Amino acid sequence: MTLTTGRTTDLDRTRFFIDGRWVEPLGTGTHVALEAATGEPLGTAALGTDADIDAAVRAARRALDEGPWGRTTASERAAVLRRFTAALAARADATSTLVSRENGMPIGLSAAFNGAAPAGLLQMYADLIETTPLESVRPSPAGSTVVRREPVGVVGAITPWNYPQVLAVMKIAPALAAGCTVVLKPSPETALDGYVLGDAAAEAGLPPGVLNIVLAGRDAGAALVSHPLVDKIAFTGSTAAGRLIGAECGRSIRRCSLELGGKSAAVVLDDVDLDSFVAGLGAASFPNNGQTCTAQTRILAPRSRYAEIVDAVAGFADGMTVGDPLDPAVACGPMASEAQLERVLGYIELGRRSDARLVAGGGRPAGLDRGWFVRPTVFADVDNAERIAQEEIFGPVVTITPYDGDDEAIRLADASEYGLGGSVWTSDEERGLAIARRIRTGTIGINYYQQDLGAPFGGMKASGIGRELGPEALDGYLEFKSIYASAAQLDR
């Protein structure tokens, strides 16, 4: 295939969005964003320092404590969010394309998760906050108690590069709806698209300081986590980083939500309809070139049908079209960075040196010498204790492990430090539901895996703490206050 060339646009982002304005950075660091499909420069972005983070946090604190945002009603906030929705929706196509160029996400998936979903989430939380009771009165032994739900305060949101827009708005939308203010620190690996949120916020007329955006690396991110004026950290990223953030939040006695890594299992039962399973493999096991925390990269197959399942998975992987993520026919784009490519290739080599059997893929595709491409790869006969079956690879690499009986399948599915996603594939939905209820994971699908933005999402075990999405996400940005009053409040 031939990659699209000549994509020249002015994408540099040399300022930060702080206190409702685009401001010059306080440091001199920059990051050159490279296009995943070509490795060529895409744009340059300023990198924030501790001082930039401090300025953003103080702007957020002023907006909450001194500005109008801390005194807004739910309906007033909903109106602002709806304007924000319209501004983001107007940018959806351009944003989707930009993200695909940054991280290699196939354009169809990017249109859904970086284009449509962020605007949809803002609309959803605008509607929810208007119908969520934020104060109620109940009788008490001494009269009454007024129970209030108030914003938790200033939120530090730290987001990764794999689904940058939707993961940011999964935090921003419920936080703003609840009445919080936000400092967003996007990942340098997708250095350019985060500022689309600033453009849309300015157009929508968000009050100064309500949303602040500072691109920064790990050191400045640590300054955000430890800042004394931050009330909550909302983080999506690796489990290793999540452990450090959780420890700091515990030391500082501040709230945190952590959506971390995964190594999820697809449990294929002996009564599976193989055609349906293969049709769902792309979304379940290979989404976003495998750069998805919920990807079911451990396939557990019954011995009675093991050979045909291995052949089916290998055939699917070999049949995936690898190439330019802006081509709608492409199913697997490049890795997001050269470092990520080297990581994935390293795990493939580890699999080759194990007792596993390579049945598909295994390296870089022919004819794609530029960019960070890797062939979808399948290892069969994998012991569930092997590193390639236990560690999050974050690329298009899956393992297949045989099992005997439903109980062993459940045991193998749970034999992981993670618990984020999963699926069960069967011709008997009730049997699948019974197995799904026994697996310790935060989300799991029966004969498909498709995230529901209206339902809570998060992990168990080392996959995280707390829940995003759905009405339940609002509680993560609200504090409960009890006011003891007289019985007269019961009549109001």
Active-site residue list? 259
What angle do helix axes 218-226 and 239-252 make, rounded to 10 degrees?
A: 30
Supply the DSSP symbol for 322.
B
SS3 content of the chain, % helix, strand, coil (to 5): 40, 20, 35
d(CA 114, CA 428): 35
- Reduced to 3 states, what is the DSSP secondary structure of residue 259? strand
What angle do helix axes 406-414 and 429-438 make, rounded to 10 degrees?
A: 40
**Bridging pattern class, strands 135-140 and 143-151:** antiparallel
Q: Partners of 62 in the beta sheet? A: none
Joined tokens for residue 310: 């291995």
3-state secondary structure 399-417: EEEEECCHHHHHHHHHCCC
**Rounded to whole angstroms, what are the CA distances from 387 to 5, 19, 61, 287, 404?**
39, 46, 45, 21, 22
Total residue length of the chain? 492
Instruction: Confirm if 46 and 13 have CB atoms less than 8 A apart.
Output: yes
d(CA 186, CA 167): 10
**Rounded to whole angstroms, what are the CA distances from 294 to 54, 219, 248, 265, 414?**
33, 27, 26, 9, 15
Burial 464-481 (b: 16+ CB within 10 A, else e): bbbbbbbbebbbbbbeee
How many CA atoms are closer than 13 Å to the CA of 138, on its beta-carbon side?
A: 5
d(CA 258, CA 460): 10
